[in-house]
Amino acid sequence: MEKSDLMRRKKFKKKKMQSPSITVIVLAYNEEQNLPRMLRESVDWLKENINEWALIVVDDGSSDGTRAVADEWAAKEEHVRVLAHETNQGMGAGMKTGIQATRTEYFTIIAGDGQHPTPELAVMVPGLQEADIVTTYHRNQREIHRRTLSWGFRKAMAWACGIDFVLEGIYLFPTRVAVDDIGLDRIPGNTFFFSFELIARALRQGQSITVRPMLVRRREHGQSKVASASRIRRIYGEIMDFRRRLAREEAS
């Protein structure tokens, strides 16, 4: 950990009483091996640093022991809930399920593989003092193909909606804006493009944004379920659809 990041985390602990209420939505699909460490680290950090918090695990139709791991945590920790899809529906569907169940001021969405550590919220929460939404970029660079994908998505989003913003890691978002101001049903996509459209719509409505650096880890078990060629094509299709829907909305 860099010295500057360590200092920010120590400073954050002194401001615990000023932190807003936060729900961590954990998206899990066949993460039986990664989820135990991720949940332990998340619960420990939230207990120590956030006064009012919740953790919602969304099991997106896993075929392994993911649900059992999550249920075990819910049974022993009152702030942990488990919601489950009978079949795999995609990351966007999991995000919507988690957000609909959120009762705190803010939420963040984290994959159950543990690559984006929940303690990185220590760097992000202070950003809420200067903006409505906090996004992140990876301070330790990831593989070249992921950096290329991030750049490509960013350019495609700027083309689609006329707004350029950075989103490589997790983000903090006001629940009221997502549920009441935008409306989750307004975003049809069920891939992780949901997050991009959610933020883009918030910015188009006048919400402010700031970006913070965060640590990203290598996945310990299994393979990423995001960066496949078929999923990338699907996401770019959703970007095209978003552009068309915006054009229709502006014309009406």
Q: Which helix (H) or strand (E) holds 59?
A: strand 53-60
pLDDT recorded at residue 192: 79
The DSSP bridge pattern shows strands 106-111 and 80-85 to be unpaired
Q: Label residues 98-116 b or e (16+ Cβ within 10 Å = b).
A: bbeebebbbbbbbbbbbbb
Number of domains in the chain: 1
pLDDT digits (tens, 9 = 90+) for 212-228: 999 988 765 555 555 55
Q: Report pTM.
A: 0.87
Structure confidence at residue 4 as a pLDDT band (50, 70, 90): very low
Q: Which residues pair with 110 in a beta bridge?
A: 26
pLDDT in tens, 12-52: 555 554 789 999 999 999 999 999 999 999 999 999 999 99
Percentage, residues of the chain above pLDDT 90? 67
Identify the domain containing residue 207 by its residue range. Answer: 3-251
| 99 has a pLDDT exceeding 90 | yes
Alpha helices in the chain (DSSP H): 3-14, 35-49, 66-76, 91-100, 121-124, 144-161, 175-176, 193-204, 229-251
In this predicted structure, what is the pLDDT of residue 17?
43
CA 19 to chain centre: 18
List, for residues 157-184, the tens digit of each pLDDT value: 888 889 989 898 999 999 999 999 999 9
pLDDT of amino acid 66:
97
CATH of the domain at 140: 3.90.550.10
Confidence of residue 143 (pLDDT cuts 50, 70, 90): low
Residue 88 reports pLDDT greater than 50: yes
What mean pLDDT comes out for the span 145-155? 73
* Distance in angstroms (rounded) separating the CA atoms of residues 26 and 3: 28
Q: Which is higher by pLDDT, 147 or 182?
A: 182
